[in-house]
Amino acid sequence: MERNIGLMDPRYNDDVDKITGYRTDTLLCMPIHNADDEVVAVAQVINKAGAQEGFSKEDEKLLGTYLTFCGIAIHNAQIFEAYSKEYERNKALLEVVHDLFEEQTSVENVILKIMQRAQSLLKCERCSVLLRDGSSETSFKKVFDLAYPLRNGQNCQRRRLLTPTSPDLRNSSFFRSNPAFVFTSSDNMSNYQLGNKIAELVLVTGETINIADAHQDSRFDPNSDGESGFHTRSILCKPIRNRDNQTIGVAQVMNRIDGHSFDDHDDQLFEAFTIFCGLGINNCLLYEEIAVASAKQMVALEVLSYHGTVTAEDVVKLKSRKVADADDWKLDSFNFNDFSLTSDDMLLAAVRIFKDLGFKRTFRIDTEMLCRWILTVRKNYRNVAYHNWRHAFNVCQFMFATLKMSGVRRHISDKESLALVVACLCHDLDHRGTNNAFQQKTSSALAQLYGTKATLEHHHFNHAVMILNSESHNIFGNFNSEEYSEVINLLKDAILATDLSRHIQVRDKFFAMVDSGMKNWDDRESRDILRSILMTTCDVAAITKPWEIQRKVADLVMTEFFDQGDKERNELKIQPQACMDREKQDELPKLQLGWIDGICLPLYKALSNLDASFKPLFDGVLKNRSCWEVLDAERLAKDAAMHTEV
């Protein structure tokens, strides 16, 4: 305690008086103690009125008594403030728990809610969550950033979505501007600027980083603030761990709104949020696993309820029948009549194809097992208008003719040829008569199981593997583990190649190879492209057949399309595409011309340039195009006549 300090006292600094313009003559200064006799504050009174000698002993006693009550009041206020903070903290954490139980279907939604809670309670300008890429120790696969920029003193939230391929993202810092980002990519996110690299450091070390002044810390890159206009002051960054205590991501907050750095209370609170974030992510992943498992079960039950296994009597019967020569059925002809064989004859013809290509001998395939496998494959095709057992066999027959009549077989191995033939027979297994887009529109079990890309093709492949894994069906059984893995991968690539969107992706490369006069197709990439092109060649080969066959196939395709269009109009209440709209069936010639010009002519022209034996196919497409052109002209003339009458 000091009293009666004034201008003449050497301990007094008169700079304050100079600033305030107030003259200090006497001063009484005393400490304020709390209940534990700790000094929590200091009080001072200046210039006692009406007393020349300054403050007396009685003044000191009176002020001391008063400050005792002040100490109690300050102590109580501090307790209340701590209680209020704890109450708000517990309330926020309870709300986070509520959010976790309310939302378990989306990782993005869970993280966003937790970030909003954290940012609100910690009162910071930015909150971010970065999820680790499981294939890398130092990179991220998803990044979420939430910011509340200040505008005229008011907080306002904005969000937008950027993809990792966005040019402005590639050239920018990690936190580029104010909105909330969500990146999703299988690319290595470390290829993009991730700002100050502090997040990566926390990911690697698993340790918390708390920086009071970012621009004074060597780990912070000031350029990360350069483009965005966002000024980073303080950073609190923590690891996110899963239930096994493995670091699965990083969470960080930046810039307390009051300008202070993050203290111990913030650290503890943010620690709780990272724990809940880990729990939320874990719950969502478990939910996704359960959803996938449920979808698998639904698909399996659906398949089992429709399909069965062939009987031993059926196998014996097929095995005992005489297999005619390929010439008797014209199997090695590109002009094979797709409707010339019965369903049972196609079984025998498939056996003949395996024999004549040398597969039974080369790969030691047992005849009884081959018969059982072919019978089961047929049984696993549904009774739909076009994508049925007959279509599968016709595609296989065309592949047989291609391997026998052209020179492409010298570019691919026997194992690749086997995979192609098997893929042709299996490429539409369990087809439901509806396309991939329909699976997505109806959120079918297949769409839930396989996702949005090549939904049906993935199902066809998995169904083929299921048959191979059935007892006494594995025609690849004599391969060693390495060879078996190779042929399964070849089978998968071949079946997925029948997805037209995949064909669009590879055909330009094929066209460029052919145009360059390329003769050597021995490298892996070239053979992969060639096999993919051959699958599409055989899958759409009906367009090359004589007109009678082509027209009949087109009618079957349109029957299937119209059935899907009816479902879309009547069940989904949406307008079907023109090619599936029964009310626009008179436009079939126009649609066929678009199909021929867009897909078929470029494909078969390139094939004929590659190998002269494919020239008849290109000529067949041109002849059929002329026929469709005539029908389209008749349609236009009819429409014109009707318009004239009106």
Q: Which residues are catalytic?
A: 387
Hey, what amino acid is at 46? Answer: I
One-letter-per-residue 3-state SS of 334-378: CCCCCCCCCHHHHHHHHHHHHHHCCHHHHCCCCHHHHHHHHHHHH
Phi, psi of 165 (to 5 degrees): -90, 0
DSSP for 175-238?
A: S-SSSBEEEE-SS-GGGS--TTSHHHHHHHH---EEES-GGGSTTS-GGGGTTT------EEEE
Question: In a 3-state reduction of DSSP, which class is residue 159?
Answer: strand
Rounded CA separation 594/589 (Å): 9
Cα gap 497→483, rounded to integer Å: 21
Residue 32, SS3?
strand
**Are 469 and 375 contacting, i.e. CB atoms less than 8 angstroms apart?**
no
How many angstroms separate the CA atoms of 534 and 607, rounded?
9
d(Cα 441, Cα 575) in Å, to the nearest integer?
A: 12
In angstroms, rounded to a whole number, what is the distance separating the alpha carbons of residues 632 and 586? 9
| Kind plus residue range of the DSSP H or E element containing 126 | strand 124-132
| Angle, vertex CA 259, rays to CA 257 and CA 263, nearest 5 | 90
Residue 98 vs residues 104, 241, 533: alpha-carbon distances, Å: 11, 20, 53
Query: What element of type H or E holds 20?
Result: helix 15-20
Helix 312-320 / helix 367-379 crossing angle, nearest 10 deg? 120
From CA 142, how far away is CA 261, in angstroms rounded? Answer: 27
Residue 101's CB is within 10 A of a number of other CB atoms, namely 9
Q: Taking each helix axis from N to C terminus, what angle separates 481-496 and 414-426, rounded to the nearest 10 degrees?
A: 50
Distance in angstroms (rounded) separating the CA atoms of residues 473 and 456: 23
Backbone dihedral angles phi then psi of residue 395, each to the nearest 5 degrees: -65, -40
Q: Is the dihedral of CA 494, 499, 500, 502 positive or negative?
A: negative
Residue 443 neighbours by CB distance under 10 Å: 9
Residues 6+ apart with CB under 8 A from 287: 104, 105
DSSP state of 401: H
Residue type at 346 in one-letter notation: M
Helices 500-515, 601-610: axis angle to 10 degrees equals 40
Give the number of C-alpha atoms closer than 13 A to the C-alpha of residue 70, restricted to the C-beta side.
Answer: 16
Q: In what order do the strands lie in the sheet with 235-241?
A: 181-184, 140-147, 124-132, 247-256, 235-241, 209-211
d(CA 473, CA 468): 5
Rg of the chain over Cα atoms, rounded to whole angstroms, equals 38
